[in-house]
Amino acid sequence: MQRAWKAARAALEAGRAALKPGVQGWEVDATARQALVEARYPEFMHAFGHHIGRNAHDGATVLGPKWERYGKTVEGAVEVGNVFAIELGVHVPGYGYIGCEEDVLVAPDGAEYLSEVQEEIWCIHKQV
């Protein structure tokens, strides 16, 4: 569980670090996805992030892979002032899913967390 948590957190942070003005959504997703795969976990099966602030999934580029279901929404450029929910996770057999999600604001120098970041697992409950 701890290894999976650390891998998920590191992949989330890698994606956040790539989230800068001018990059395309798919590039941010690819960075987070690559970090998780390099840690020997499978790819998450959804976009890394989406715009928030007006309506969920409305507005800025989608931080997702170049999959058919996302169309051209992942090709938009990230802009200063965009606010995103970034999220990914890892399935751990016998325990369940570890999900990491944070909200970030895109500033001129990159994405800033909007609240205190969860850095440790708060609760582990083995599935029965």
pTM given for the model? 0.89
Q: Structural domains in the chain?
A: 2-113 (3.90.230.10)
On the CB side of 115, how many CA atoms lie within 13 Å of its CA? 7
Q: Region 106-116: what's the mean pLDDT?
A: 95
pLDDT in tens, 27-42: 999 999 999 999 999 9
Separation CA 13–CA 24 (nearest Å): 17
Q: What pLDDT does residue 69 have?
A: 93
Residue 83 · residue 104 · CB < 8 Å: yes
Query: Is the pLDDT reported for residue 104 higher than 90?
Result: yes
Q: Count CB-CB contacts under 10 A for residue 76.
A: 17
